[in-house]
Amino acid sequence: MRIGQLAQRTSVSERSLRYYEKQGLLAADRTLGGHRDYPDAAVDRVVLIQELFAAGLHSKKIAQLLPCMRDSDGGPSEIATPRLIEELTVERDRIDRMITDLVHSRELLDEVIVTASGRAQLSSVDGRPQAL
């Protein structure tokens, strides 16, 4: 498929797809006319790349990680090195710290909402303040 089709199917800009290719995250064959020609599996690859960026990984780390992942399900393959595992564990720990900080911020906001509303009570369903 052409770059425009891949962009449309993944909701990722053509510019980003070119960047992924330049960083070695995505590969395309070339037509006789020089146009990029992506395989259908590129859709899964782009979705996976987007998920890894959303998790806070940078392109160099993603480039190290992608060869150790299967495209179809994003699961690990058997070629991950101990060093990569160590680096990814550090990344996971960083994400865990961010989650903890976000939960704390949400709890503070909930307290402000409860205090500001003066008549709010906590819902037993989701723990978020609900006005009476």
Where are the domain boundaries for CATH 1.10.1660.10 in the chain? 1-78
pLDDT recorded at residue 50: 94
Range of lowest pLDDT (87-91, 97-101, 122-126): 122-126
The pLDDT tens digits of the residues spanning 48-75 come to: 899 989 988 889 888 888 877 765 555 6
Percent of the chain at pLDDT > 70 equals 83
What does pTM read for this prediction? 0.64
Q: How far apart are CA 84 and CA 78, in angstroms?
A: 12
Cβ neighbors of 71 (< 8 A, separation 6 or more) are 41, 44, 45, 48
Smallest CA-to-CA distance from 67 within 56, 54, 55, 80 is with 80
Confidence (pLDDT) at 39: 92
1-78 has CATH 1.10.1660.10 classification:
yes
Q: What average pLDDT score do residues 33-40 get?
A: 91
**Residue 96 identity:** D
Provide the pLDDT for residue 124.
47
